[in-house]
């Protein structure tokens, strides 16, 4: 599957995106922030009480999610229609089923590894919504999402020699093509089993595009090794194209594994959505990437002094990408597009706002106007180990399954 046309298309959108801070719908006074912070603290305290109660029995999941919906509405200003999409029974059940099936597949997986995989499963469940499909756990959602802790973590690990990564990548590609076996170690045997799980749902002879999309993300992952110091150092333009292809190909594969077939318009939208997710991840991982020497648009030495402008451009880029969500299911795409836009922009605001080492104070101060929680409060909460809204959900799932 050739993705260069997508890279060219979204590179043009990126280059034409403004580097000025965009307008935001909501601003929050200091008094409003304090009120929301008090509510969030109350809720996290109640969450700890629910966990203690769960040690003696089962947590009241309905009570938990009623509270979660209330907090997301009162703190983060999610509309009732949006909350119904992201906290309905089907989404909750799909998450619980994923956790159970992941544990059943490999009991040695850590909670952090399952959370890493579950993040991708949530994206795929969201794509089911956008395509008008029932929201549920499928064999391919489980298998593809679990490939992340097995394959990506090895390719990203700086302690693993380059030669070992290259040999592993070749074996993995042969396995994806159905022309070879993985190694005999537990990691590679698990990968082979997950690929077979996908093939059972989508046979190669009937779903060529599904398997081409898997090869496309594998190719993108292999090329991304250059961002981690493998091979010739990439230029600034290559950093952009490699990063775009890694993010875009991932969600494109998500889409094919959810639906089997995609229209050209939806394929392009999913690819752009994946790029925006990758950019937001890169901003959130900035400190870690700098420490590890991983190159992204944000960690590259030549871009270090223009982080505010790059972050502004990321906001504008995402808004341009989300305009194409209209190619998805009518009635759902508009509301779910609001959820995606609000969620990613909140992550971007808070990721930049909490990175005091890398973003100038005046820029962080401007961003803080649009954050419902103050950055000092969020920094203190992080030090105390208070859960984020996503970790609240995963912690609950861990308790009730």
Give pLDDT tens digits for 111-150: 888 988 999 999 999 999 999 999 999 999 999 999 988 9
Task: Pull the structure tokens for residue 231.
Answer: 């091979």
* pLDDT band with cut points at 50, 70 and 90 for residue 386: low
Q: What is the mean pLDDT of residues 282-287?
A: 94
Please check whether residue 152 lies inside any domain of the structure.
Answer: yes
Task: Pull the structure tokens for residue 70.
Answer: 């209330």
Which of 60-69, 258-267, 333-342 tops mean pLDDT? 258-267
Task: Pull the structure tokens for residue 256.
Answer: 């094919």
**pLDDT at residue 50 above 80?**
no
Please check whether residue 67 lies inside any domain of the structure.
Answer: no
Q: What is the mean pLDDT of residues 375-398?
A: 66
- Residue 237, class by beta-carbon neighbours within 10 Å (0-12 exposed, 13-18 middle, 19+ buried)? exposed
Closest Cα partner for 258 from 385, 372, 361, 127? 127
CB atoms within 10 A of CB 116: 17
Task: Output the pLDDT for position 35.
Answer: 95
Q: Which residue reads 């990691």 in tokens?
A: 187
Q: What is the pLDDT of residues 305-319, one digit of tens each?
A: 999 999 999 999 999
Those residues whose C-beta lies under 8 Å from the C-beta of residue 84, and which sit 6 or more positions away, are: none
**CATH number for the domain that contains residue 365:** 1.10.600.10
- Residue 347, class by beta-carbon neighbours within 10 Å (0-12 exposed, 13-18 middle, 19+ buried)? middle
Closest Cα partner for 290 from 280, 281, 305, 300? 300
Task: Output the pLDDT for position 232.
Answer: 86
Please check whether residue 64 lies inside any domain of the structure.
Answer: no
CA quadruple 345, 347, 353, 358: dihedral positive or negative?
negative
**pLDDT at residue 399 above 60?**
no
Please check whether residue 50 lies inside any domain of the structure.
Answer: no
Q: Which residue reads 């808004």 in tokens?
A: 319
Please check whether residue 356 lies inside any domain of the structure.
Answer: yes
**pLDDT at residue 395 above 90?**
no
Closest Cα partner for 388 from 377, 399, 50? 377
Name the residue with higher pLDDT: 376 or 69: 376
Please check whether residue 39 lies inside any domain of the structure.
Answer: no
Q: Tell me the residue range of the domain where 234 lies.
A: 4-26+77-370
Please check whether residue 177 lies inside any domain of the structure.
Answer: yes
Q: Are 347 and 284 in contact (CB under 8 A)?
A: yes
* pLDDT band with cut points at 50, 70 and 90 for residue 396: very low
Task: Output the pLDDT for position 58.
Answer: 47
Name the residue with higher pLDDT: 157 or 356: 356
CB atoms within 10 A of CB 399: 16
Count structural domains, the chain. 1
Please check whether residue 399 lies inside any domain of the structure.
Answer: no
Task: Output the pLDDT for position 400.
Answer: 44
């Amino acid at each position: 599957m050739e993705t260069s046309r997508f890279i060219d298309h979204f590179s043009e959108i990126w280059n034409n995106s403004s580097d000025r801070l965009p307008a935001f719908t909501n601003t929050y006074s200091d008094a409003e922030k304090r009120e929301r912070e008090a509510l969030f603290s109350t809720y996290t305290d109640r969450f700890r009480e629910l966990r203690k109660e769960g040690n003696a029995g089962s947590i009241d999941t309905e009570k938990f999610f009623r509270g979660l919906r209330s907090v997301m509405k009162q703190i983060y200003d999610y509309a009732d229609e949006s909350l119904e999409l992201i906290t309905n029974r089907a989404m909750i059940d799909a998450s619980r089923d994923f956790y159970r099936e992941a544990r059943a597949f490999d009991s040695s997986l850590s909670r952090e590894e399952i959370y890493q995989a579950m993040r991708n499963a949530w994206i795929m469940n969201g794509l089911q919504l956008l395509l008008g499909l029932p929201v549920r756990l499928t064999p391919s959602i489980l298998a593809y999402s679990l490939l992340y802790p097995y394959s990506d973590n090895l390719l990203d690990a700086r302690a693993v020699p380059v030669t070992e990564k290259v040999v592993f990548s070749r074996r993995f590609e042969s396995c994806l093509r159905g022309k070879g076996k993985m190694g005999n170690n537990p990691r590679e045997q698990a990968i082979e089993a997950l690929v077979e799980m996908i093939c059972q749902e989508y046979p190669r002879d009937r779903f060529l595009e599904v398997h081409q999309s898997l090869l496309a993300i594998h190719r993108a992952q292999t090329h991304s090794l250059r961002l981690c110091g493998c091979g010739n150092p990439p230029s600034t333009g290559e950093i952009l194209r490699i990063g775009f292809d890694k993010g875009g190909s991932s969600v494109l594969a998500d889409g094919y594994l959810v639906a089997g077939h995609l229209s050209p318009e939806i394929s392009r939208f999913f690819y752009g959505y994946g790029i925006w997710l990758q950019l937001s991840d890169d901003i959130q991982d900035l400190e870690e990437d700098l420490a590890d020497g991983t190159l992204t648009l944000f960690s590259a030495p030549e871009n270090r002094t223009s982080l505010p402008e790059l972050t502004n451009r990321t906001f504008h880029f995402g808004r341009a990408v989300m305009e194409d969500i209209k190619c998805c299911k009518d009635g759902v795409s508009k509301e779910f597009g609001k959820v995606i836009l609000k969620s990613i922009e909140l992550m971007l605001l808070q990721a930049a706002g909490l990175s005091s080492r890398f973003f100038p104070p005046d820029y962080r101060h401007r961003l803080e106007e649009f954050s419902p929680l103050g950055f000092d409060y969020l920094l203190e909460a992080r030090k105390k180990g208070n859960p984020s809204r996503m970790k609240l959900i995963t912690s609950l799932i861990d308790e009730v399954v």
